[in-house]
Amino acid sequence: MIPTVLPTYSRAPLSFVQGEGSWLMTGDGTRYLDLGAGIAVNALGHAHPALVEALTDQAGRLWHVSNLYEIPQQQALADALVEKTFADTVFFTNSGTEACELAVKMARKYWHDKGQPGRVNIVTFSGAFHGRSSAGIAAAGSGKMIDGFAPLLPGFIHLPFATHGSVLSNAVDETVAAIMVEPIQGEGGIRPLPDACLKGLRQLCDETGALLIYDEVQCGMGRTGRLFAHEWAGAMPDIMMVAKGIGGGFPLGAVLATEDAASGMVVGSHGSTYGGNPLACAVGKRVMEIVAEEGFLDEVTRKAALMRQRLEGLVAAHPDVFEEVRGLGLMLGLKCRVANTGVVQAGYAQKLLIVPAADNVVRLLPALTISDDEIAEAVARLDAAAAALTKESDA
């Protein structure tokens, strides 16, 4: 008999009743050190007092009014995002997938309104993940995500990861509306796109007019030590998808865009019942304020260096289990020599939560507020997990 919850997830037999910072507690009080943070969502950890306050304060006043009316919390968050980024305007969604939908629509509408309705194609790269909607799976274009879901939304051109040079420039012809790329692939196995590639994409878009769309759903909102990951390369997008960390655990996403890129999105061209509602935006605004506090992102960078150094030591100590450390900031991956799912299980045995990704990688996406002691504890637990795996394979 089919479970009452549609069985699309492979869930661990773990259930948590409470969270605090980098820790999750089960009903019997067992504490797990959480290096997944809800897959890069709980950027400020669990139950951050300032976010609890922002949410409960708003919950006591007003939950929802619809976008028929002005929403001051939405306006405030949009203003803050515009002030801190390349963008001139913001549309709020409830998820990354919805941000992908709008990014695709915005790019196509841009060219339609410029009198070039044939420019509809979006160039994407292998290993990408842009969500599970019809546009999201067509954009990624691979594997289980698309099997059985034909006909796929047309208008996507798939290139190998990090394609550059003439192969890339030949693909970006007069049918291409935009290039869509994650500056660091998350689901694809924590694969950063080199700065030179991002700069090259920006240059190509400048030459051809194609819009550059960044998907910073996973790598954005402070995770790499900058507010957005592309800032390290200094190559700005025209459109950017954001979600996950922006709501600190409350469902919230956004599309940020320049005035020019957004020029086609006039009244009636897009909408969302819940997108940008007062609860989500009250929390999102508080997340932004905290991430923007002086020294916050420098602390992320310092802790990331510490964690990376410890992880390099871990890989050196367990060459039979781990191959390398990858990633940027607190978006880190361990490429495994044994099955990554086995490493995740071994982590559970040590009361440590880590997340599998493609390319046989385990992801470490801790709360940006993780402490030095918690980093040391996490690496000690990974060490014990790796030792247990080695013992198992020797037996």
Ligand X SMILES: Cc1ncc(COP(=O)(O)O)c(C=O)c1O
129 is in an annotated binding site: yes
CB of 61 to ligand X, least distance (A): 26
Instruction: State the SS3 of 199-252.
Output: HHHHHHHHHHCCEEEEECCCCCCCCCCCCCHHHHCCCCCCEEEECHHHHECECC
Say if CB 336 and CB 353 are below 8 A apart: no
Instruction: Please tell me the distance from the alpha carbon of residue 192 to that of residue 230, in angstroms, as a whole number.
Output: 10
CB of 136 to ligand X, least distance (A): 7
Instruction: Please tell me the distance from the alpha carbon of residue 333 to that of residue 354, in angstroms, as a whole number.
Output: 10
Instruction: Please tell me the distance from the alpha carbon of residue 202 to that of residue 303, in angstroms, as a whole number.
Output: 30
CB of 273 to ligand X, least distance (A): 16
226 residue type, one letter:
R
CB atoms within 10 A of CB 79: 13
30 is in an annotated binding site: no
Tokens of 299: 């602390």
249 is in an annotated binding site: no
CB of 279 to ligand X, least distance (A): 17
203 is in an annotated binding site: no
CB closer to ligand X, 43 vs 379: 43
Q: Which helix (H) or strand (E) holds 394?
A: helix 372-394
Q: Residue of minimal CB distance from ligand X?
A: 96
172 is in an annotated binding site: no
**Nearest-CA neighbor of 223 among 276, 280, 183?**
183
- Integer angstrom CA distances of residue 25 from 30, 105, 155: 5, 41, 45
Say if CB 273 and CB 53 are below 8 A apart: no
CB closer to ligand X, 187 vs 238: 187
CB closer to ligand X, 357 vs 375: 357
CB of 38 to ligand X, least distance (A): 10
- Give how far the C-alpha of residue 223 lies from the chain's centroid of Cα atoms, to the nearest Å: 9
272 is in an annotated binding site: yes
Instruction: State the SS3 of 21-61.
Output: ECEEEECCCCEEEECCHHHHCCCCCECCHHHHHHHHHHHCC
CB closer to ligand X, 96 vs 192: 96
217 is in an annotated binding site: yes
273 is in an annotated binding site: yes
CB closer to ligand X, 85 vs 218: 218
97 is in an annotated binding site: yes
Q: Which helix (H) or strand (E) holds 131?
A: none
CB closer to ligand X, 218 vs 350: 218
299 is in an annotated binding site: no
Residues found in the chain:
395
CB closer to ligand X, 314 vs 328: 328
CB of 92 to ligand X, least distance (A): 13
- Give how far the C-alpha of residue 123 lies from the chain's centroid of Cα atoms, to the nearest Å: 19
CB of 217 to ligand X, least distance (A): 4
Q: Which residues bind ligand X (CB under 6 A)?
A: 39, 95-97, 100, 129-131, 182, 186-187, 215, 217-218, 243
CB of 188 to ligand X, least distance (A): 9
CB closer to ligand X, 119 vs 251: 251
> What residue numbers does the annotated binding site for pyridoxal 5'-phosphate cover?
96-97, 129, 215-218, 273
> What residue numbers does the annotated binding site cover?
96-97, 129, 132, 215-218, 272-273
> What residue numbers does the annotated binding site for N(2)-acetyl-L-ornithine cover?
132, 272
